[in-house]
Amino acid sequence: MPKLLGLSVVDLLWLSLALCFLLAFCVHRLTLHLPTRYEKSKVNILFQDVIRYGKTKGLLKREHWQHVFDIPKRWFWHFYAISIGWNGLLIVLSFHVIVWGQQFPSWLTDILRYLTGGPVAVKRVPQVSTVLVQLLLWVHSLRRLLECHLVSVYSDGVIHIVQYLFGLGYYILLGLTALCSDPLITEDGSPGFPLLSQLQWYHVTGMVIFSWASLLQHRSLVLLARLRTRGSGTVETLAHRVPRGGWFELVSCPHYFAELLIYASLGIVSTSHTLTWWLVFLYVLFNQALAAQLCHEFYRNRFQSYPKHRKAFIPYLL
């Protein structure tokens, strides 16, 4: 498929998703300043139903038929299970190419050819950047799956079926994007450069940021879980409380900010000249900004004593 404005299909997909969530963020902020009759209109309720999930959906006055599309929020773990399986497969295929000199399967080559909009060599020898991004994505998904089962305490919160299906497809596209953003293609099937010889300072920098951001996200999720377990290990309540401690003193959603940092670290690892991954980062920025804004509004509306100095998402900025 030919490129449009110099952008490949995968670039256009991520750019479109980023712009959609930016638009959703702007529209939502606009609705906060509209008269009440517009806020309660069917169009706005439908819009809010699609963008909200969990606790932020609880106060939304929806019609009965809209509840048919509810999926339990605790099913978030399905996303990470899909990611572990799919991205694990892509890692195995990559190592088959690197270690044994095999080819990518034809079905994968055809998909990559369509997404990149250009010819794909018979043999692709992934760079260390691509392999590291794949491995870090897999580690991230494994940690999040374990946290879903061992740390997080879910109530009866729900997500829209559109969000659920989108989440399943998201990690499929993410794994393919890692391969699409690999600039090293060997046309003659000759072996690429040894992976270890390709290591650069930005790979190490990216991995350090990834580790720190992952720790920040984990600690934030632990603090959220303790609001319902009080540190006893057993669930004592499903009520929502004001989170305190750690980066919660700066923002309402440090776990969302940590997610943004994780994708920034992947962008650094994938090398700064790779446009595709930074479009993914742009999507994550607007996606998490919208989710954080909704959570921030929930806390401020529910708790009159909620700290006014806290931002929603990015410390001191947003």
Residues 6 or more apart whose Cβ sits within 8 Å of residue 218: 143, 147, 151
pTM: 0.89
CA 160 → CA 32, 69, 157, 303, distances in Å?
22, 6, 10, 26
Q: DSSP string of 59-127?
A: T----GGGGGGEEEGGGGHHHHHHHHHHHHHHHHHHHHHHHH-PPPPHHHHHHHHHHHTS---SB----
- The range of the structural domain enclosing residue 25 comes to 9-302
- Structural domain includes residue 316: no
- Structural domain includes residue 138: yes
Rounded to whole angstroms, how far apart are CA atoms 25 and 40? Answer: 18
Count of domains observed in the chain: 1
- Structural domain includes residue 224: yes
Rounded to whole angstroms, how far apart are CA atoms 282 and 261? Answer: 12
- Structural domain includes residue 308: no
pLDDT in tens, the chain (318 residues): 555 666 889 999 999 999 999 999 999 998 888 787 787 788 888 999 899 988 888 778 888 888 889 889 889 899 999 999 999 999 999 888 877 777 888 899 889 888 887 655 444 555 788 889 999 999 999 999 999 999 888 888 899 999 999 999 999 999 999 888 765 444 444 444 456 666 778 889 999 999 999 999 999 999 998 888 876 667 777 778 889 998 999 999 999 999 999 999 999 998 755 788 899 999 999 999 999 999 999 999 889 889 989 999 999 888
- Structural domain includes residue 284: yes
- Structural domain includes residue 4: no
pLDDT of residue 86: 96
- Structural domain includes residue 311: no
- Structural domain includes residue 199: yes
